Amino acid sequence: MTTEGQLLRLLTWLSPAFPVGAFSYSHGLETAIREGPVRDAGDLSAWIAGLIEHGGGWTDAVLFKAAHDTAGDPAALADVTELAEALALSLERRRESLGQGEAFLIAARAWGPQPLSGGVAYCTAVGAVCGAAGVALEPALTAWLHAFAANLVSVAVRAVPIGQTAGVAVIAELEPVILATAARAARSTLDDLGSAALNSDIAAMRHETLPVRLFIS
């Protein structure tokens, strides 16, 4: 059970206002918008749902769970963070993950010493901090996946562009996907790692060569 105090921390840590610079990363979505696969709200919803169920969103959720479980075991947690870094599929994805992870841990020091420091994958940073704080796993995963989806919607609001009302409708449409994936990830092990969102992975790699870019990834 997540207490009200833990819920408040979770809301703060995964708020768009938390200083991790998430607004500057698109996870390859900018390429998909520029080159055509994502043209409207319907395309965006399908793209994000695929990421959450079969792509980087799912992989990060499994690693988040592993970090949450090992928050009190430094050696095991170090193995999880090393694996998470090794699984970054492109240079920009690696920068996105490690940059946000380091920024998150620096800001989280306001709540006291944390189980990790330095440049580690964002999903493992948040997972470990939530685990150390006693925040229940499934609510933490739900909040994590919601923040992931909301940031990509924000990218599309700016870059497609779609209106904010349409963006909110996409988030509403994704609620069942987020809830189901959080529940599945809460039961996962590292054996469940794997992704099949190849278009997103290719888009992330092609982003490095876009002649004009709004986002870092």
pLDDT reported for residue 3: 87
pLDDT reported for residue 36: 86
For residue 31, CA distances in Å to 41, 88, 141, 213 come to 16, 18, 27, 9
Yes or no: domain 44-199 corresponds to CATH 1.10.4190.10? yes
For residue 39, CA distances in Å to 45, 161, 211 come to 11, 9, 20
Q: What ranges do the domains of the chain cover?
A: 44-199
Secondary structure class of 6 (helix, strand, coil): helix
Would you state the torsion angle of the CA atoms of residues 164, 183, 17, 152, taken in this order, to the nearest 10 degrees? -40
pLDDT bucket at 1, cuts 50 / 70 / 90: low
How many helices and strands in the chain, by DSSP H and E? 10, 0
Rounded Cα distance between 98 and 208, Å, is: 17
Percent of the chain residues past pLDDT 90, beyond the cut: 96
Positive or negative, the CA dihedral 107, 147, 67, 47 is negative
Mean pLDDT of 82-96: 94
Q: Residue 181 pLDDT > 80, yes or no?
A: yes
Mean pLDDT of 24-39: 95
Tokens of 176: 């069942």
Q: Per-residue pLDDT tens for 119-139? A: 999 999 999 999 999 999 999
> Does residue 68 contact residue 144 with C-beta atoms inside 8 Å?
no
At position 196, the amino acid (one-letter code) is: A
